[in-house]
Amino acid sequence: MNKNLTATQSDYAYFLPATSGFYSTFIGKQRYGNYVDPARIPASFASGVESLNYLEPDKGAFYYDHCLYSAGHANLDLNKVDESEDMFRNRDRSTSWVLGDSGGFQIGKGVWPADWKDPNCPKAQKKRAQVLTWMDTLMDYGMVLDIPAWVGRSPVGAKNSGVGDYDQAVAATKYNNEYFIKHRTGACK
């Protein structure tokens, strides 16, 4: 049974399921081989694992055309084929809409180490450019690459981001915004 859940959403804000990389990996990798043993796929899944792809109106067990996907979970290197990203890299943009989360949480947690308060830091610049390119290429709308205000209260985050307090977080976020405004293609709003 394929139910259009998008059609049931009206007169209030859209719910955006946050799709995890783990979830999209199963859909993407199954397109290239038996990532999931066919014996484990329920018979009611008419399109196999693709039945879990709710962005596909004709193949999904249900259809919901909006979601959120985070750069923090994504492979930002668009020059390499990544089967696990196929749900987003090869989606039909006329039947789906994805909001790209910038991954600022990863900066706050210290997962993307760089001196984010220094506009000339090569590591920060590389990640900033990757996030923007990823959004412009794959997302319909995107969020700014913010540095969370709480980063100074996270010992690992403060150490790995070079940002130790609120004012530095605001200044670094401002620089990221200026970079996005200057370098975006406009393909992502």
Task: Give the DSSP H/E element, type plus range, for residue 97.
Answer: strand 97-101
Q: Where are the domains positioned within the chain?
A: 1-101, 102-189
Q: How many Å apart are CA 81 and CA 73, to the nearest integer?
A: 16
Task: With a cut of 60, say whether residue 38 has pLDDT above it.
Answer: yes
pTM of the model: 0.90
**Ramachandran sector of residue 148 (left: φ over 0; alpha: ψ -120 to 50; beta: rest):** beta
In this prediction, residue 2 has a pLDDT band, given cuts at 50, 70 and 90, of low
Contact criterion met (CB below 8 Å) for 169 and 148: yes
User: Under the phi-then-psi rule, with left for phi > 0, alpha for psi from -120 to 50, and beta for the rest, what region is 21?
Assistant: alpha
Q: What does the alpha-carbon distance between residue 66 and residue 95 come to, in Å, rounded to a whole number?
A: 9
Query: Sorting pLDDT into bands at 50, 70 and 90, what band is 182?
Result: very high
The percentage of residues in the chain with a pLDDT greater than 70, rounded to a whole number, is 95
Q: What is the tens place of the pLDDT at every residue in 66-110?
A: 999 999 999 999 999 999 999 999 999 999 999 999 999 999 999
Residues in Cβ contact with 141 at an 8 Å cutoff, skipping those fewer than 6 apart: 97, 98, 99, 100, 188, 189
pLDDT for the residue numbered 26: 94
* DSSP-derived pairing of the beta strands 66-70 and 97-101: parallel
pLDDT at residue 1 greater than cutoff 60: no
Q: Are 168 and 117 in contact (CB under 8 A)?
A: yes
Mean pLDDT of 28-33: 95
d(CA 98, CA 61): 19
Q: How many CB atoms lie under 10 A from the CB of residue 100?
A: 24
pLDDT at 6: 65
pLDDT of the residue at 14: 77
| pLDDT for position 11 | 73
Average pLDDT over residues 24-48: 94
pLDDT in tens, 6-28: 666 677 777 889 999 999 999 99
> Over the chain, what is the mean pLDDT?
93
> What is the DSSP secondary-structure string of 31-72?
TTS-SS-GGGS-TT-TTGGGGG-TT-TTTSSEE--EEEEETT
